[in-house]
Amino acid sequence: MLRLDHVSKSYRVGTFGGRELAAVRDVSLEVAPGEVVSLIGESGSGKSTIGRMILRLTSVTSGSITFDGTDIAGLAGSRLRGYYGNVQGVFQDPFSCYNPIFKADRALELLRQPYFPDLDGRRWRAKLERSLEAVRLDPGQVLGKYPHQLSGGQLQRMLVARALLLDIRLLVADEIISMLDASTRIDVLNLLGDLKARGLGIVFITHDLSLGNYISDTAVILHRGEVVETGPTGQVFDQPRHPYTRSLLASVPQLHRKWERNGHPVRQPAGEGD
């Protein structure tokens, strides 16, 4: 479905653009229907830049991104609109995606004219309610509300509902739960699991190793814009081959152990941890 072939992205930086900064270097990967591919790495690893290139928000410097065999770089007009009918993104901060002076459902209403011009009010309302119910939202509780009247979790799920209105085939989820509280995170993760079961392909971008392990079929470990390790998630996490992957996994806190000082475990008081 989605394929990246030797994709790179560079920016001109410095005085008068005299230097070139490589944000992404020679990345290749594929996403199949019903597959969750996690892009995992620290800040600055290039994972969000890859997501933006898939969504055509940032151009590719070299290489190609194809969807169903078509290079997305050449899409324009109705063909580009058709691409966005299949591929959508949801981002980290749900509050920044809404205009505070408009009711939150305006973000849904904006899709009506370009994608559903023939739907009358009654059929549009029914479609709208079905998409909200699919993400476990009560239409009566969220429609007609301003963004500040809804929680971050509700706003994030409305953005997923917006994508579902289009019957998309691929979702780019860029750190979509990092700003949500713990109780809401599991709801959104379970929602993504439901969408995967329906055949939706998902590019899940995260810096959190545990989330990548929990949700993905394929893990892609990025470091300084390069893929250092990729494969089935269980294999990457259980038998990491690259030193960087091993260092990332070693840095994850273990709940059954105390913090370490200077590489040595802190001695537990007598009776503690029994």
Structure tokens belonging to residue 2: 């989605």
More confident residue, 183 or 226: 226
Give the closest residue to 207 by CA, choosing from 93, 38, 88.
38
Q: Indicate the domain borders of the chain.
A: 31-62+80-250
Q: What span, in angstroms and rounded, lies between the C-alpha atoms of 76 and 128?
A: 27
What band does 208 get if pLDDT is binned at 50, 70 and 90? Answer: confident
Mean pLDDT of 169-192: 79
Query: Which of 3.40.50.2020, 3.30.420.40, 3.40.50.300, 3.40.190.10 would CATH assign to domain 31-62+80-250?
Result: 3.40.50.300
**C-beta of residue 199 within 8 angstroms of C-beta of residue 16:** no
Q: Is 35 helix (H, G, I), strand (E, B) or coil?
A: coil
**C-beta of residue 158 within 8 angstroms of C-beta of residue 75:** no
User: What is the pLDDT at residue 3?
Assistant: 96
Whether 273 has a pLDDT exceeding 60, the answer reads: no
What band does 272 get if pLDDT is binned at 50, 70 and 90? Answer: very low
Q: Using one digit for the tens of pLDDT, what is the confidence trace for 129-173?
A: 988 888 888 998 898 899 999 888 888 888 888 888 888 899 999
Question: Which of 98-107, 183-192, 239-248 bottoms out in mean pLDDT, i.e. has the lowest?
Answer: 183-192
